[in-house]
Structure 1
Amino acid sequence: MQIFVLILGIVLLPKACALKCYECIPDLSGSCAQTTKECPSNTQCASVRIASYAGGSKLVDIKGKSCAAAEECVQASINFGGARTLITSKCCTSDLCNSQDAPEGSISSPNGKKCFQCVGNDCTQTLNCNGNEDHCISSAMTAEGQKVTVKGCASKLICSSTQSPQITGITAAEISCCQGDLCNSAGMTTTSQPSSTTAGTTAVGRLLFVTTLISLVLFS
């Protein structure tokens, strides 16, 4: 009898201890339908918000809810100089505790680290990193026959997200990260010179592209 009770307890315990959380996976328009789910062990309930800005204007504001590992419950950012994305997560450890949206992120103070950034075709400019942006990032893709490059600062979460196998093959874009001041190599691009307006538009498009990749990983 005692063995039967022990076996029954082992079978039922995982379900009894499973954390139930709200889940809301946004689509490309940013909207989502909220449901509930049982999360895997060693995860928490989370509300996540991804906001992108360029030239002082907010371009994207994506809100979602899901289960999250402890290392994902942080504020992170990617900074290209004139454009940046902020990721804010709010995590908790009781059933359905993630009913509220995550707060909007704020720009942190400079942390002393520096990375190269691109201003138009010139990638020799330097950028002061903020908060927990401890990596330098470089991203390049070919669009309309031109290779477009952007460089800047990024948090560890950003870099681990862009390297996820889930986004491999989705695009031919090259995204790489490194640690150390100015490790993302300065240089001039070798493509034809776009106008300043085109360069700015392309940089914004690159930011939105990276934001989409990150959201695919965080909300999967």
Structure 2
Amino acid sequence: MVPPNTGFQCLSCSGSSCSSPVSVTCSSDTMCVTASIKDVVSEEESFFRGCAPPTLCPHNGTFKFSTDVVESYKIIDAECCDTNNCNSETLPAPVLQAENGLQCFFCISGTDFCQFTVHCDGAQDRCFDGYVSTDNRVLPVAGCTSTDVCEIAPDHGVLPFMEGVGNLTSGPTCCGTTRCNDFTEPTTAGPTTAVPRLQCLSCNDSSCSSPVSVTCSSETMCITASIKDVSSGDESFYRGCAPPTLCPRNGTFRFSTDVVESDKIIDAECCDTNNCNSETLPAPAQQAGNGLDCFFCISGTDICVFTVPCEGAQDRCFDGLVSADNGVLPVAGCTSTDVCDIAPAHGVLPFMEGVGNLTSGPTCCGTDRCNNV
């Protein structure tokens, strides 16, 4: 069957050469991208071609993604286009540029200590700060970056091609003068006056019994979430800062997604006052089947011809594409309306990071087997 909402054909590959790309069908909201990546820390070079969501490719043209947080420093040249297999070119590997005079604060990895500075190079014309979820904690991140990263990353949910740094829970907030990323915000009253940012309780483990209060970026809210992993039977809890892509408003959300190899039910609540996320929500209970059947994809393949029965709040079938170890692969299954509303801008299926970063979708529909990818 011909899938609905079919977009461009894009060449797909990733690795040290990208010499054997394959053509894949993207969702209708995507573009094609080709990127060359220089890891300055390891001195390795790699290449990527594939489908790109509008958060990564908002328009045709070239982009310079260059970010230095000291423990991770990458330069990425990328080009986005919107015709079939237009991303056939392998861009030359980027070259490390000279210092440009800008200095920015950076954070020591795994800590909230952000008082040392790093010299920015080349296209890194902005200082930035934000928060990332990493190692079961929410921690600050800061350093040098480029204008293109500042414009794209808040919606994209990660620093482009810097997934190892962690998923952004807030930010990045960018500025253009030396050491301006000091985790305070100037007001019209003058540069010595700072606006307090929202404080949120932060924890992420099986009990969340010892949360700590962290300072969030200005565009965030607080969130508390309880997570039931139906596949493993494990229960866990999360509290922290949430970007507007995850918490677009105050209130409760039901994030429930089943792609067979991963099936999670998440109850979440968003709020916007200091440390308002103090409540530990009860662990969600597995719900009965609701009569909806959806196609799912066998993990690590493009085989999506079997179906899974949906349960509880999973009132939608969905399909999309994710970046996986062996390229860009389809993902499909059952999900809830709240996931459909949030995930396209959030860049991942909420609290389902193990499935991979979305390169397109999810596209959702509400009838049996309507996600015929």
Relative to structure 1, the CA distance from residue 90 to residue 107 in structure 2 (aligned partners, 3 Å threshold; closer, same or farther) is same
Give the aligned partner of residue 89 of structure 2. Answer: 100
Q: Which residue of structure 2 lines up, in the alignment, with residue 173 of structure 1?
A: 169
- 1:81-139 alpha-carbon deviations (Å, 9 max, x no partner): 23212211357899866423122112211111121112344311111111121221223
CA deviation profile, 1:29-86 (whole Å, cap 9, x unmatched):
x99632588x99xxx97532344453x353x834115686666403321111232122
Matched, 1:63 2:64: no
Label 1:145 to 1:167 Cα distance change in 2 as closer, same or farther (>3 A). Answer: closer
The aligned residue for residue 8 of structure 1 is none
Check the 8 A contact 1:48/1:65 in 2, yes or no.
Answer: no
Distance in 2, Cα, partners of 1:75 & 1:171: 20
After superposition, the CA RMSD in angstroms is 4.4
CA distance in 1, matches of 2:72, 2:136: 23
Q: 1:159, 1:49 → 2: CA distance? A: 19
Structure 2 unaligned spans of 5+: 1-7, 159-165, 185-201, 203-322, 324-346, 348-355, 361-373
Q: Which residue does 2:140 correspond to in 1?
A: 149
- Does residue 48 of structure 1 match 2:45? no
Q: Which amino acid aligns with 1:110?
A: E
Counterpart amino acid of residue 180 in structure 2: C
Gap change, CA 1:62 and 1:95, over 3 Å in 2 = closer
- The 8 Å contact of residues 22 and 99 in structure 1, kept in 2 or not, is answered as no
Give the whole-Å Cα distance in 2 for the aligned partners of 1:136 and 1:144.
24
User: Which residues in structure 2 correspond to 1:166-205 (within 5 Å)?
Assistant: 167=157, 173-181=169-177, 182-185=179-182
The total of aligned residue pairs comes to: 168
Matched-pair identity in % = 20
3-state SS of the aligned residue for 1:162? helix
Structure 2 Cα separation of the partners of residues 152 and 72 of structure 1: 26
CA distance in 2, matches of 1:186, 1:61: 33
The 1:161/1:26 distance shift into structure 2, 3 A limit, reads farther
Higher helix share: 1
Distance 1:50 1:175 in 2: 23
Matched, 1:23 2:14: no
Three-state SS of the structure 2 residue aligned to 1:103 is coil
Consecutive unaligned residues in structure 1, runs of 5 or more: 1-20, 192-211
1:100–1:107 CA distance, 2 compared to 1 (3 A): same
> Which residue is 2:98 aligned to?
109
Q: Which letter maps to 1:174?
A: S
1:150 offset after TM fit, Å? 2.2
CA distance in structure 1 between the partners assigned to 2:86 and 2:143 by the alignment: 35
Aligned to 2:114, the other structure's residue is in SS state strand
Q: Which amino acid in structure 2 is aligned with residue 104 of structure 1?
A: A
Q: Does 1:77 align with 2:66?
A: yes
Query: Which residue, 152, 173, 176 being the options, matches 1:161?
Result: 152
The 5-angstrom pairing of residues 31-42 of structure 1 reads 33-35=22-24
Q: Does 1:124 align with 2:120?
A: no
Letter of the aligned partner of 2:154 in structure 1?
A: Q
The DSSP-based 3-state class of the residue aligned with 1:123 is coil
Q: TM-score, structure 1 length as denominator?
A: 0.55
Query: Is the Cα–Cα contact under 8 Å of residues 127 and 153 in structure 1 kept in the other structure?
Result: yes
Change in Cα spacing, 1:25 to 1:175, as seen in structure 2 (3 Å) is farther
Q: 1:113 to 1:175 in 2, by over 3 A?
A: same
Please identify which structure carries the higher strand content.
2
Greater RCO (Cα-Cα under 8 Å, separation 6 or more): 1
Alignment CA distance shift 1:183-1:75 (3 Å): same
Cα distance in structure 1, aligned partners of 2:133 and 2:145: 22
**Contact (CA 8 Å) 2:129, 2:181: kept in 1 or not?**
yes
